[in-house]
Structure 1
Amino acid sequence: MSSYLGAGAACRKRRRGGERVFKFKSFGENGCPVEFDGSFRENVKALLEYGHLENNLCNGLLIWSFQLEVHRHPPLHVLLFVVEEPIEASINLHCKHCQYVGWGHHLICNKKYHFLLPSKDTVAACFNRDESNFDDPNPEKGKFNLVELQGHKMHGVFHSNGFGHLLCVNGMEMGSDLAGYQIMELWDRLCTGLQARKVSLNDTSKKRGMELRLLYGVAYGQPWFGRWGYKFGRGCYGVNEPIYQKAIDAIRGMPLCLLDNHLSIFYNNISVIFFRYQALSDHSMVTLGDLFHFMLELMSRLPKENSIDSCNPAILVETNCRWSPKRVEAATRVIVEALKRAEFKWVSRQEVRDAARAYIGDTGLLDFVLKSLGNHIVGNYLVRRCLNPVTKVLEYCLEDISTVFPNPEALILNNSKVKPKCKITKAQLMKDISYLYKHILKDRKPTLTTGIFSAITMAARIILDTKFLVKEYTEELSMEVKSGLNGKFKLFCTVLLRNNEEIDQGLKKPMHPYECVSLEEDATFNDLKQEVEKNFREVYWRLRSFVVETIVNVSVNGSDVVLGSLEMGQKLVFLGSNEDQTGIMNELMIYECGLNSSRVVDCPCGAKEDDGERLISCDICEVWQHTRCVRIPNNEEIPHVFLCKQCEEKIVTLSSLP
C-alpha cells in the first residue's frame, strides 16, 4: 500500500480496492474531506463517515482509519486512526489532563475521541495481531487497546464537549518519518476544522537534551508550540501568567556585555561564540534574546549539509583612510603586544593608549585602531572590548582562541579586499546553541549563582515550571455564531442542577462551558428547552436524563417565540434536574477532577490546587504540598511520616510548655 505500511506482509494484505487516500497537507481543511459547518460533535460524525471502520484494533472500541499521502515521490503514506471511547468502556473515568490544566470542574463527558498517528512498529503490530486473530480459537487474545500504547507520532484526545488535549508529538528526533512541525500542522488543521473549543498540552518537548520551552522562550518570548497559537495555560509551583511573563522578559533582556564580562573568566568559548554570530548578523545584538533569536533563525535557514561563510573580521583599511596599511598594521601589533603584557586581564582604554604611545606617537592613529579593534580577531587572539558597568569606562583584553581556530590566518592589511573566512555548519551552530544553553541557562558553576546569574536561574526555573499551554480555537461569542448562518437563530446555553437533598438552598455552581444551541426562526421556548435537553444529554454522562424546569432570569411562556424575545448570541442559564437518579455516584465523582477536588493544597510556593507535580500530605492537618517545596528530592522516596512546617512548629511550641 505504501512505504509506510511496508513493515510486514500483514500490512500489505490490508489494501482494499476503492479505499480513499487523502492529501496529508490539506487533510482537516474545510472540504477535505468534508465541509465542517456544524458543532464539534456534528463535525466529528461527518468526518468519520469518510473513514474506514476497522476491526479488533482497540479492544472492541469503534475505530476508523484514514490513509494520508505525505508525498508521492518517494511514496510515503501514513495512517490516521480515530478511536471513539464511550464512558462505559473507559479505563480511567476521570481526566487528569483536565484537572491539571484547570478544567477539573467540567462534568464527565459521554465520549472521548482519540486521534492517533501510530509509529511504524505500532502499525505493524496492529495488523499482525489483526491477521493472526482470524484463525485463533480465542479471538479475545488478539484484542488490545491501541489508545494505551506508547510511542505514537501523535496522540490527541477530545471530549465530546469540544475540549481536548494534545498528549504527544514525536518528530524525527524520535525516529518518525514526519517532522514535528508537520505533525503539529495536521493537528492544528484538525482542531480548527472540527471546531474544537479549547485544547491543552503538557510541553515537555526537548531537542538534544535542551528544553524547548526554555530555549524558545529566550529566543522568541514564547514556547515552540507558540507558533500555532498555544499560550500560557497554567503554571506549576504557584507560577501565574504575570510571573511567567516577567521571567521571559528578564531572561531575554540580559545584556550580552555583562554576560561576556563575567562568564568569559570561566568559559573561554563564550566570547568567541558571541563574536562569531555578531559577525554574521546585519544588526547589533545587545541582549541574550537577540543572540538566541538570531541563532535559531539561522538554524532554520541553513541547509543541512551546506555551510555559510563568516568573515573573520580582521581590520580592513578603508579606502579613504589617511594612514597606510603598513602603519595601521604596526599600530595594531603594538596594541596587541601591550595587551599581552597585561596577562589577559582587563585594561582601560587609556592605559592601553598610554602604553602604545611609547612606540607610536600618532595619537590619531592609535584612536582609530583602538576603535576598529574592538571584538576583532588578530592572529591567535580575540581583542575584546567592553564597557565596564561600574566605572562606565571602555576596557580591553585579549582572549586566546588558538584552540577554537587551530589554524587562524594572520592579520592581512596589505590587501583590503582579502577577508579570511571560517565555515559555520549546521552541526557547529547546534553545538554552539547547546554550549550557550548549558553554560548560561542551565548548568552553571556554583560561583555563578549570585547577582545577575541568580536572576537567570530564577527566571529559567519559572519558565520550566510553565508546562501547561492552551489554545482557544472557537470563541464562545464568535462572529460566525452571531451572524446566524444557514437561517438559524443561535444562543449560548448552560445548565444548573438543582440539589435534591438541599433544594431550599437554591442552585449549585453553574456548569461550564456554554453550548451553542441552534433554532429555527419560528421556534418557541418549549422548543428551546427540548433542544437544550438534547444537547446536554448528548454531551455529559451525568445529564443523560436531564430535564429543564425553568430559565433563570427570563420570564416567558413556553409557547412564546424565541426570536424577538432574545438577542442572537445571548447567554442563558437553565435550571433543571435529572429524572433518573439511580446509579448516580457520589457528586464529586461526576466531575473530571473526581475525588481529587477534595484535596486541600496549600504549598509554600503559593499553589492552591493539584498541578500534576509530586505532592505529599501532612500526617496531622492532611494539607498537600509539593515535595520539591519541602525539600524532598525527586529521586528520594516519600517519607512514611511527614509534618508540614506549621504543624511542626505547633508541636515544638506545645513540647516547650510546662
Structure 2
Amino acid sequence: MPPLPIIETCRKRKRRPSVYSLQRLGEEEFPISRSGSFRDNVRVFLREFAEVEEYNVRGSPVWCTLLNHEAKSSVIPLYVIEEDVVRSSEPYCDHCRCTGWSNHFVSKRKYHFIIPVESEWSMPLEDDVFDLQTHLLHGVIHTNGFGHLICVNGLEGGSRYLCGRETVDLWDRICTSLGARMVTVEDSCKKRSLDLRLLYGVAYGHSWFGRWGYKFCRGSYGVTKNDYENAIELLGSLELDQIEIDFGEHKQCKRIKQVFRYYREMSEGHLKTLKDLLRFILIIKSHAPQKNKLHAAPAPPSLSTDSPHKKLSNRSFMKKSDAVENEKSQGYRSYSTVAANLGSRWPVRRLEYAAGVIVEALKEMKARKQSGMTRQDVRDTARLHIGDTGLLDYVLKSMNNVTVGNVLVQRYVDPLTRILHYTIQELGECSEVVEQKKDPVIEAVPLRVVSESKAGGNVHGDHLLLLYTNVLLNYPSSESVRAAVQVVLDSKHFVKEWPLWDSDDKMFQFVCRINPSLIDLRTEQITELPPGELVTVSLQATVFDLKQAIEETFRDTYCILTNFVVSEIDELKEDEDSDLLFGKLESCSALTVRGYGIDLESDLKFQGGCDTWMVKCVCRARDDDGERMISCDVCEVWQHTRCCGIDDSDTLPPLYVCTSCCDEFADQQKRVLLPKYEFPNPDQMLMIGAADDYFGEDEGCLGMIMFPSDSFASEQYIL
C-alpha cells in the first residue's frame, strides 16, 4: 500500500501522527458520549484525537488534528487553541454581545477551532490568528457549550481542497459530537455581489446556513423574528404575472419577461411565484452541465516520519525564501482594493494613508540593507507619524501580498525565532522574479482533471443577478417590497440549538441555574437571566452528590463562581442530603440553586462587560447588535448612525447631540423666554416709559401697567 499523501506539517514529528477521515470525523470515529457536557467532551477530544504543538499562541496551548480528504488526496490540519479568559487581553466575547448574549456569565475558557488558509499549513500560527478573516474555518465555543461560527472560506475564498459546504459539514459534526448547546453565525456571505441571506431567504425560507438547522436569532436595527418571517413570506409570494405588470414601464421589462418565459418552459409551467422561480434557478444552476479542463495543481507530499535533520518542533517550518516564493505564486492585490472590502470603522483613505506610512518605514529599512523588519519595529516607526495604535495594528494585519503604489509588501515568520517580519520589493523586481519561477513550477507539477462549469452555468448566474438587482432591490412603486428586503438584509444573526440527549439510562442530566436573587442584574443591559448549566450525575446519586456536582461544574465553568458553594436546591427543599434522587426528579429537569461565594465585584461577570452603557435607538434597538453606532455627548446614549442619518462611509462628527436632548434643550429655552407674569386680557395693558430718574440718571426702562375695565391703574406691574 503506498504511503498516505500528507502535507509538510507531519514530516518531522516524533512519531507517525494519526490521521482521521475528514468526511467521517464526528461520527463512528468518535467514542464520545453525546450526553456529556462540552467542557468534558472537548478534553477527551484533545487527549485522544489531537497532538499538542511545541509552541503557543498568546500564551495559550495549541493542539493539531490531521484530517484526510480522500477525494482530494490531501491532509488538512485542524487546530484547537484553548484560550484562558482570565489571562486574555480580550476576556469579553464581542460575538456574544452582538448576538444578544450579553447576560451570559463569562466562561473561564474559549476553544478556537481553526483551519488556516492553505499557504499557512506548514507554518506556525501567529499571535493575530484570532483576528484573521482568511481562515477556511474559524469557530469558537465557550466552556458552557455556547459558541459562534466566525469565519468560513470555501473555493471562492481561495481554497483548493475544501468547499464551503464541506467546511460547514465538518463544523456541524464537531459541534454535535462535542455536545455544543447553541452556536450562532453572522451571515454576511456574498456571491457576485448577491447577498445570499436574501437570495436563499426568498427561495427557501431560510438562509444558506439553514440547511444545517440555523434559524433566525436576532435582527439588527430592531428587527424581530416576526418581522423577518413576514418579510420572507411577502417576498416569496410575489406572483410572476403581477411582477410583469408592475414592471410594464420599466426598461428591464423585456428581459425580465424573457427570463420568466425561459424557466417556465423549462419547468413545464409550474412556476407561479418569485419563490418558485428563484428556487428552480438555484437547483438548475447547482446541476449545470460541466466540462473537464486540465489545470496544474500541486500534488501533496508523501508521508515521511524519518528525517536526517535536527528536530526544531513537532512541525516543520518554511524557510523565508520558500514562504515568499509560495506567496508570490498566488499573486497580489492592490491595498486600495483590500481596504475597500474590509468593512472597517476607519475610512478607506485613512487606511491607505496608514499603509503609505508603513511602506515608507519599510523603505528606510531597505535603504539600510536589512533583510526584513519585525512587526514591532514597523509599528514603532509608524507611530512617529500616526498615534492611533489600533489603526496601525488593523492595517498591519491586512498587509500581506498587497501593493502600495509600485511596492509589494509581504510578510513571513522567521523559522528560528517565530517572529513576524515584513519586507518590500519594487513591483518591477517582483514581476521578474515571478516570471522566472513560473515555467519550472508548472513543469514539475502533474496535471489533474478539474471540473469547470460551462457558459450555461454563468447564464443562470446572470439571470439571478438580473432578478436580484431589479425585482428585489429596485421594485418599482412598492414601499412594502423595499421595506421587506431591508428587513431580510438587516437579519444577519442565526442560531442552531442542540437538544439535550437523554440516551444514557445510567445517568441523570439536569440544567442548573443560579437563583436570580443572588445575581446583581443591571436593568440597563442585562434583562434576562444567564442560561443554566448542564450537570450530570449517576442514577444512584444522592442530593449531596448533586450539590457537589453542581459546585464542581460551576467552579470549572464561570469566572465569578470559582468559590461558589451550594446551600440549597429549590426543587429539593424538603429532602435531606442523604436522600436518593431516583424517584424525586426526572432527567433533563431544570433546577434552581442557592448558595454563596459569588464574586459580584469581579469585572468578569457578564459577557456584556462592566461598562454602564445604554442603547436606545429610534428603531427600537435596546442592545448592541454589531452595527455602527454613535453616542450622544450629552446623555451618552448610543444610537445607530444609520438611524441618525449618518452614512456608513461618513466620518463621525466630533460633537453629536441626539434628538431627545435637542428637544429637551428647546423646551428649556421656551420656558426661559416665557414672560414672568401672565395677563388675563392684553387689551387691558398700557405700555409706558418709566421716569428718567427711576433707576438712576443713566438708566431707564419700559413700564407696563395693567388696569381693569372699571378702575384705571388699580394694579401696576413694572417690568
Question: Could you say what secondary structure the match of 1:124 adopts?
Answer: coil
The answer (yes or no) to whether the contact 1:114–1:158 under 8 Å persists in 2 is yes
Task: Give the match for residue 235 of structure 2.
Answer: 251
Distance 2:216 2:6 in 1: 36
Q: Letter of the 2:564 partner, please give it.
A: F
Instruction: Report Cα offsets for 1:84-118 as digits up to 9, x if no partner.
Output: 11113322111111111111111100111111111
The answer (yes or no) to whether the contact 1:252–1:289 under 8 Å persists in 2 is yes
Q: Letter of the 1:111 partner, please give it.
A: R
Task: Give the match for residue 218 of structure 1.
Answer: 202
1:455 paired to 2:483: no
The answer (yes or no) to whether the contact 1:552–1:573 under 8 Å persists in 2 is yes
After superposition, where does 1:225-304 map in structure 2 within 5 Å?
A: 225-263=209-247, 265-267=250-252, 268-304=254-290
Task: Give the match for residue 100 of structure 1.
Answer: 98
Distance 2:527 2:277 in 1: 50
CA gap of 1:281–1:16, structure 2 versus 1, over 3 A, is farther
**Structure 1 position 155, deviation (Å):** 0.3
Task: Give the match for residue 666 of structure 2.
Answer: 652
Identity %: 35
The answer (yes or no) to whether the contact 2:154–2:163 under 8 Å persists in 1 is yes
The answer (yes or no) to whether the contact 2:67–2:78 under 8 Å persists in 1 is yes
If asked which structure has higher relative contact order (CA below 8 Å, sep 6+), I would say 2
Question: Could you say what secondary structure the match of 1:549 adopts?
Answer: strand
Task: Give the match for residue 591 of structure 1.
Answer: 606
Distance 1:610 1:456 in 2: 27
CA gap of 1:614–1:501, structure 2 versus 1, over 3 A, is closer
Unmatched 5+ stretches in structure 1: 128-142, 307-422, 503-507
Task: Give the match for residue 492 of structure 1.
Answer: 511
CA gap of 1:642–1:287, structure 2 versus 1, over 3 A, is same
Task: Give the match for residue 162 of structure 1.
Answer: 145
Higher alpha-carbon deviation: 615-624 or 229-238: 615-624
Task: Give the match for residue 171 of structure 2.
Answer: 187
Question: Could you say what secondary structure the match of 1:81 adopts?
Answer: strand
The answer (yes or no) to whether the contact 2:30–2:177 under 8 Å persists in 1 is no
**Structure 1 position 281, deviation (Å):** 0.9
Name which of 584, 589, 605 aligns with 1:570.
589
Distance 1:67 1:567 in 2: 41
The answer (yes or no) to whether the contact 2:145–2:181 under 8 Å persists in 1 is yes
Q: Letter of the 1:572 partner, please give it.
A: L
Question: Could you say what secondary structure the match of 1:56 adopts?
Answer: strand
Question: Could you say what secondary structure the match of 2:57 adopts?
Answer: coil
The answer (yes or no) to whether the contact 2:32–2:177 under 8 Å persists in 1 is no
After superposition, where does 1:210-609 map in structure 2 within 5 Å?
A: 210-263=194-247, 265-267=250-252, 268-305=254-291, 425-442=456-473, 444=474, 449-450=476-477, 452=478, 454-473=479-498, 475=499, 478=500, 480-481=501-502, 485-496=504-515, 512-552=530-570, 554-578=573-597, 584-586=601-603, 589-595=604-610, 598-609=612-623
Instruction: Report Cα offsets for 1:559-615 as digits up to 9, x if no partner.
Output: 222223333333211111217x5x9534xx41101135x322221111111111111
The answer (yes or no) to whether the contact 1:285–1:291 under 8 Å persists in 2 is yes
Question: Could you say what secondary structure the match of 1:590 adopts?
Answer: coil
Instruction: Report Cα offsets for 1:135-167 as digits up to 9, x if no partner.
Output: xxxxxxxx6353344410010000000001000
Calculate the TM-score normalised by the size of structure 2: 0.66
Distance 1:647 1:60 in 2: 47
Q: Letter of the 1:549 partner, please give it.
A: S
**Structure 1 position 17, deviation (Å):** 4.2
CA gap of 1:499–1:199, structure 2 versus 1, over 3 A, is closer
Q: Letter of the 1:62 partner, please give it.
A: P
Instruction: Report Cα offsets for 1:609-634 as digits up to 9, x if no partner.
Output: 11111111222222221110111111
Higher alpha-carbon deviation: 509-518 or 458-467: 509-518
Q: Letter of the 1:439 partner, please give it.
A: N
Distance 2:519 2:146 in 1: 29
The answer (yes or no) to whether the contact 2:36–2:536 under 8 Å persists in 1 is no
Distance 1:252 1:500 in 2: 45
The answer (yes or no) to whether the contact 1:235–1:466 under 8 Å persists in 2 is yes
Distance 1:564 1:511 in 2: 29
Task: Give the match for residue 621 of structure 1.
Answer: 635
Distance 1:209 1:299 in 2: 17
The answer (yes or no) to whether the contact 1:449–1:457 under 8 Å persists in 2 is no
After superposition, where does 1:91-130 map in structure 2 within 5 Å?
A: 91-126=89-124
**Structure 1 position 44, deviation (Å):** 0.8
CA gap of 1:146–1:614, structure 2 versus 1, over 3 A, is closer
Question: Could you say what secondary structure the match of 1:561 adopts?
Answer: coil
**Structure 1 position 257, deviation (Å):** 1.6
CA gap of 1:526–1:641, structure 2 versus 1, over 3 A, is same
CA gap of 1:511–1:544, structure 2 versus 1, over 3 A, is farther
Name which of 157, 160, 165 aligns with 1:174.
157
Question: Could you say what secondary structure the match of 1:193 adopts?
Answer: helix
How many residues are matched? 500
Question: Could you say what secondary structure the match of 1:518 adopts?
Answer: strand
Q: Which runs of 4+ in 1 moved over 6 A?
A: 1-4
CA gap of 1:305–1:260, structure 2 versus 1, over 3 A, is farther
Distance 1:52 1:114 in 2: 15
The answer (yes or no) to whether the contact 2:285–2:460 under 8 Å persists in 1 is yes
Distance 2:625 2:188 in 1: 15
Distance 1:501 1:150 in 2: 36
The answer (yes or no) to whether the contact 1:199–1:471 under 8 Å persists in 2 is yes
Question: Could you say what secondary structure the match of 1:460 adopts?
Answer: helix
Distance 2:243 2:516 in 1: 59
Name which of 85, 88, 91 aligns with 1:90.
88
The answer (yes or no) to whether the contact 2:10–2:17 under 8 Å persists in 1 is no
Task: Give the match for residue 134 of structure 2.
Answer: 151
**Structure 1 position 457, deviation (Å):** 1.3
**Structure 1 position 432, deviation (Å):** 1.2
Question: Could you say what secondary structure the match of 1:62 adopts?
Answer: strand
Distance 1:214 1:570 in 2: 39
Instruction: Report Cα offsets for 1:280-301 as digits up to 9, x if no partner.
Output: 1134212111111110011112
Q: Letter of the 1:595 partner, please give it.
A: C
Question: Could you say what secondary structure the match of 1:67 adopts?
Answer: strand
RMSD: 2.6
Distance 1:637 1:436 in 2: 34
**Structure 1 position 528, deviation (Å):** 1.5
Question: Could you say what secondary structure the match of 2:121 adopts?
Answer: helix
Distance 2:529 2:660 in 1: 36
Task: Give the match for residue 73 of structure 2.
Answer: 75
Distance 2:520 2:241 in 1: 68
Distance 1:651 1:464 in 2: 36
CA gap of 1:175–1:523, structure 2 versus 1, over 3 A, is same
Task: Give the match for residue 20 of structure 1.
Answer: 18
CA gap of 1:281–1:4, structure 2 versus 1, over 3 A, is farther
Q: Letter of the 2:461 partner, please give it.
A: M
Question: Could you say what secondary structure the match of 1:513 adopts?
Answer: coil
**Structure 1 position 486, deviation (Å):** 4.6
CA gap of 1:652–1:146, structure 2 versus 1, over 3 A, is closer
CA gap of 1:218–1:570, structure 2 versus 1, over 3 A, is closer
The answer (yes or no) to whether the contact 1:550–1:576 under 8 Å persists in 2 is yes
**Structure 1 position 55, deviation (Å):** 1.6
The answer (yes or no) to whether the contact 1:27–1:33 under 8 Å persists in 2 is no
**Structure 1 position 650, deviation (Å):** 2.5
Task: Give the match for residue 137 of structure 1.
Answer: none
CA gap of 1:195–1:500, structure 2 versus 1, over 3 A, is closer
Task: Give the match for residue 380 of structure 2.
Answer: none
CA gap of 1:85–1:560, structure 2 versus 1, over 3 A, is same
